[in-house]
Amino acid sequence: MKPLNQTSIAICSDHAGYDLKQDVILYLNDKQVQSIKDFGAWSSESSDYPDFAHPMAAAVEKGEFDFGISICGSGNGISMTVNKHPGIRAGLSWNVEIARLARLHNNANVLSLPARFVSKEEAFAMLDVFFSTDFEGGRHQNRIDKIPV
């Protein structure tokens, strides 16, 4: 896994994830991430997550960013949306172990977070493990190869 100062990250949320997204951006800036691009939402006023999720996922899929982070209230809707992109493997995580396994076993390139169900400290811990865990490969690669239809 390359260090965060050599990692580019795309991030998006809807209104429900806006506050956590802002905290995550500040946290990643403190960690000296190479680059972060915010794809929205731009406030906590009601918004539709697909409007932000599709452009973020497309940018990660094209290789413009190493990873993505998607955040909505439950994490489900935004995760479903980004996973519509064939090159995206988003892992919806609500604790550190799930975030670790999303990278280790599933080679997730997007971390999806449920803003209404995790504290910012829990989110930061998940970010730390997600961005420090390498994909294990082996038998897991065979399974990932079978995901696209």
The answer to whether residues 108 and 89 touch, using CB atoms and an 8 Å cutoff, is yes
Please say if 12 is a catalytic residue. no
Q: Which listed residue (12, 15, 85, 105) is catalytic?
A: 105
Please say if 72 is a catalytic residue. yes
The answer to whether residues 56 and 14 touch, using CB atoms and an 8 Å cutoff, is no
Q: Which listed residue (12, 15, 72, 85) is catalytic?
A: 72
For residue 75, which amino acid is it? G
To 10 degrees, what angle do helices 96-104 and 120-130 make? 20
CA distance 120 to 103: 20
Catalytic residues: 72, 105
